Amino acid sequence: MLYDGKAKTIFEGPTSDTVIQYFKDDATANNAEKHAIIDGKGVLNNSISDFLMRKIQEIGIPTHYIKKINMREQLVKKVEIIPIEVLVRNYFAGSLSKKFCIKEGTPLADTLIEYCLKSDELGDPHISSEHILNIGLCSFDELELIDEYSLRINDILRGIFYSIGINLIDFKLEFGICKKTKEVILADEISPDTCRLWDLKTNKKLDKDRFRRDLGDVEGAYQEVLERLDIKS
Ligand code: UDP
Distance CA 171, CA 177 (A): 21
Distance CA 18, CA 13 (A): 5
Burial 169-183 (b: 16+ CB within 10 A, else e): bbbbbbbbbbeeeee
Atom of ligand 1 nearest to the CA of 207: 11
Write 24-30 long-range contacts (CB < 8 A, 24+): 24/72, 27/193, 27/208, 27/211, 27/218, 29/208, 29/211, 29/212, 30/212
Helical spans, DSSP H, in the chain: 41-58, 94-100, 129-135, 140-162, 209-212, 218-228
The mean predicted confidence, pLDDT, of the chain is 97
Q: Which residues contact 65 (CB under 8 A, 6 or more apart)?
A: 50, 53, 54, 56, 57, 74, 76, 77
Distance CA 12, CA 176 (A): 17
Q: Is 208 in the pocket of ligand 1 (CB under 6 A)?
A: yes
Which amino acid appears at position 133 of this protein? L
Atom of ligand 1 nearest to the CA of 124: 8
Closest CA to 197 of 212, 208, 186, 213: 208
Q: How far away, in angstroms, is 227 Cα from ligand 1 center?
A: 23
Distance CA 74, CA 87 (A): 24
Percent of all residues in the chain with a pLDDT value above 90, rounded to a whole number: 97
Radius of gyration (C-alpha) of the chain in whole angstroms: 17
Q: Is 129 in the pocket of ligand 1 (CB under 6 A)?
A: no
Distance CA 88, CA 70 (A): 30
Instruction: Among 28, 33, 87, 174, name the best residue to mutate to test ligand 1's pocket (greatest count of ligand atoms within 8 A of Cβ).
Output: 87
Closest CA to 231 of 24, 38, 99, 47: 47
Q: How far away, in angstroms, is 27 Cα from ligand 1 center?
A: 13
- pLDDT band of residue 233 (cuts 50, 70, 90) is low
Q: How far away, in angstroms, is 30 Cα from ligand 1 center?
A: 10
Instruction: Among 119, 170, 209, name the best residue to mutate to test ligand 1's pocket (greatest count of ligand atoms within 8 A of Cβ).
Output: 170
Question: In the prediction, which pLDDT does 30 show?
Answer: 86
Q: Is 95 in the pocket of ligand 1 (CB under 6 A)?
A: yes
Tens of pLDDT along 56-72?
A: 999 999 999 999 999 99
Q: Is 28 in the pocket of ligand 1 (CB under 6 A)?
A: no
Please answer whether residues 114 and 89 qualify as being in contact, where contact means their C-beta atoms are separated by less than 8 angstroms.
yes
Please answer whether residues 221 and 192 qualify as being in contact, where contact means their C-beta atoms are separated by less than 8 angstroms.
yes
Tens of pLDDT along 81-133?
A: 999 999 999 999 999 999 999 999 999 999 999 999 999 999 999 999 999 99
Instruction: Among 26, 96, 194, 222, name the best residue to mutate to test ligand 1's pocket (greatest count of ligand atoms within 8 A of Cβ).
Output: 194
- Kindly state the average pLDDT of the residues 196-216: 98
Distance CA 96, CA 214 (A): 20
Residue 60 burial (10 A CB sphere; 0-12, 13-18, 19+)? exposed
Tens of pLDDT along 3-50?
A: 999 999 999 999 999 999 999 999 999 888 899 999 999 999 999 999
Q: Report the predicted TM-score, pTM, of the whole model to 2 decimal places.
A: 0.96
Question: In the prediction, which pLDDT does 34 show?
Answer: 95
Instruction: Among 31, 49, 95, name the best residue to mutate to test ligand 1's pocket (greatest count of ligand atoms within 8 A of Cβ).
Output: 95
Closest CA to 190 of 106, 85, 36, 38: 85
